[in-house]
Copies of this chain bind each other. A is one copy, B any other.
């Protein structure tokens, strides 16, 4: 039974993440850093760390050193509001929540309604702002600390413009083009946007830690080029793997292909049907073959979803892996179990999402951190 010495999350999947580390020039998130995280937070690590959903980083070692020395750090993440959020969007927020809770640090969540309005030709400003509101409900439902979390919408917390100016004086057109791929037809709002995106990394004079999927890394490289010349820290990051869509293990769950995604506002019944119909498995063509040869969990979206989010218990996940490999578990049974978990999650999320309506004001304006930030934005003679 040599097979089971290896935990499922160590098995090489469809995406070669080691190659991505090389390609992006980042560092692997080592056992040492993960153990240090457990030690410093005196916590049991969440599956995101245990299973290497986070697998790469920049300066996370320095973040931990800053934490240990008492200097501290802060978290920054964001959301581009151009449509409803799906499971792939929200999982990183749960990881971020764990970081906030266990390091007890401030978290800034940038809602980039400006970006989505500018980059999406057909999206109206009104619609973007409406999606901003909808997405904020989903984010609040994750359960962040309302006094240590500031959710801000760029079109509204426009002090971001002032903060972006020194950054916008450091980046020229050709630098921005190299990362964002601009051309002659690019709108001038798009060209300016990289400065807005970088600004929150300077919200505090501490190191900023950005939890993000690895493909987001290039956007932060610009910041790391000039941060120190402005008297701030290069931002740190921990990089996650991709949350795959229902129909493929390659790439990310995509809102533009509705059959690949389960939306947070999907009716649980409908979500179940969608998973049943579209979820890719690693099963054999016939039940007989499945019993004889076993399935391929490393080629299975259903298993991947359990691994990434829906089976928090490591032993149970390993048992599922073993049973699949041994041909004891059919794809139908496995799908049904995933559907049950997803439906339970959606019901709970939707309940919290409803409750979130009453909390928007606190996260955006009146919570401790929000108030503090707005106080800096409103000229003294106009403050309450």
**A239 CB to nearest chain B CB (Å):** 25
Q: Are B169 and A173 in contact (CB under 8 A)?
A: no
Contacting A159 at CB < 8 Å: which of B158, B170, B183, B365? B158
Q: Shortest Cβ distance from A155 into chain B, in angstroms? A: 5
* Closest partner residue, chain B, to A174 (CB atom): B184
Q: Is the CB of B169 within 8 A of A186?
A: no
Sorting the interface of chain A by its residue count into under 10, 10 to 19, 20 to 34 or 35 or more gives: 35 or more
With both chains docked as a complex, state the minimum distance between the C-beta of A338 and any C-beta of chain B, in angstroms: 41
Quick check: is A93 within 8 A (CB to CB) of the other chain? Answer: no
A374 partner residues in chain B, CB cutoff 8 A: 379, 382
The reply to whether B191 and A188 form a contact with Cβ atoms under 8 Å apart is yes
Question: What are 13 A-B interface contacts by the 8 Å CB criterion?
Answer: A117-B169, A118-B169, A155-B161, A160-B161, A165-B189, A169-B189, A172-B184, A173-B182, A173-B191, A176-B188, A188-B194, A191-B192, A366-B381
A171: Cβ under 8 A from any B Cβ: yes
Interface residue? A261 (CB, 8 A): no
User: Which residues of the other chain, B, contact A125 by a CB distance below 8 angstroms?
Assistant: 165-166
Given contacts A158-B159, A161-B161, is CB(A171)–CB(B192) below 8 Å?
no
- Chain B residues within 8 Å of A192, by CB: 168, 188-189, 191-192
Question: Which residues in B have their C-beta under 8 angstroms from that of A190?
Answer: 168
A195 at interface, CB cutoff 8 A: yes
Note all chain B residues with C-beta closer than 8 A to A191: 173, 188, 191-192
- Residues of A335-384 at the interface with B, using a CB-CB cut-off of 8 Å, are 361, 364-366, 374, 377-379, 381-384
The CA of A183 and the CA of B173, in the complex, are separated in Å by 8
Docked complex Cα distance between A374 and B183 (Å) = 36
Most buried by B among A166, A374, A381: A381
Copies of this protein, total: 2
The smallest beta-carbon distance between A80 and chain B, in angstroms, is 14
Partner of A172, one of B170, B186, B379: B186
Q: Does A292 contact B (CB under 8 A)?
A: no
Decide: B155 and A162 in contact? CB cutoff 8 A: yes
Known contacts A185-B174, A186-B173; A158 and B377 CB within 8 A of each other: yes
Q: Does A273 contact B (CB under 8 A)?
A: no
Tell me if A187 counts as interface (CB < 8 A to partner B).
yes
Contacts of A114 in B (CB 8 A): 161-162, 165
Among B117, B164, B172, B379, the residue within 8 A (CB) of A364 is: B379
Q: Which residues of B contact A170 (CB under 8 A)?
A: 187
A44 within 8 A of B: no
Whether A165 contacts B366 by the Cβ 8 Å rule is: no
> Which residues of B sit under 8 angstroms from A168, Cβ to Cβ?
118, 187-190, 192
How far is it, in angstroms, between the C-alpha of A171 and the C-alpha of B31 when the chains are bound? 50
Q: Which of A215-259 contact B (CB under 8 A)?
A: none
Cα distance A158–B374 in the bound complex, in angstroms: 12
Chain A positions 40 through 80: 1 when the CB is less than 8 Å from some CB of chain B, otherwise 0: 00000000000000000000000000000000000000000
Residues on the B chain within 8 Å of A184, using CB: 172-174
- Given contacts A155-B165, A168-B192, A172-B187, 16 further A-B pairs with CB under 8 A are A117-B166, A125-B166, A158-B162, A168-B188, A168-B190, A169-B189, A170-B187, A173-B185, A173-B186, A173-B188, A188-B191, A365-B382, A366-B382, A378-B382, A382-B384, A384-B384
Cβ of A156 within 8 Å of any chain B Cβ, yes or no, is yes
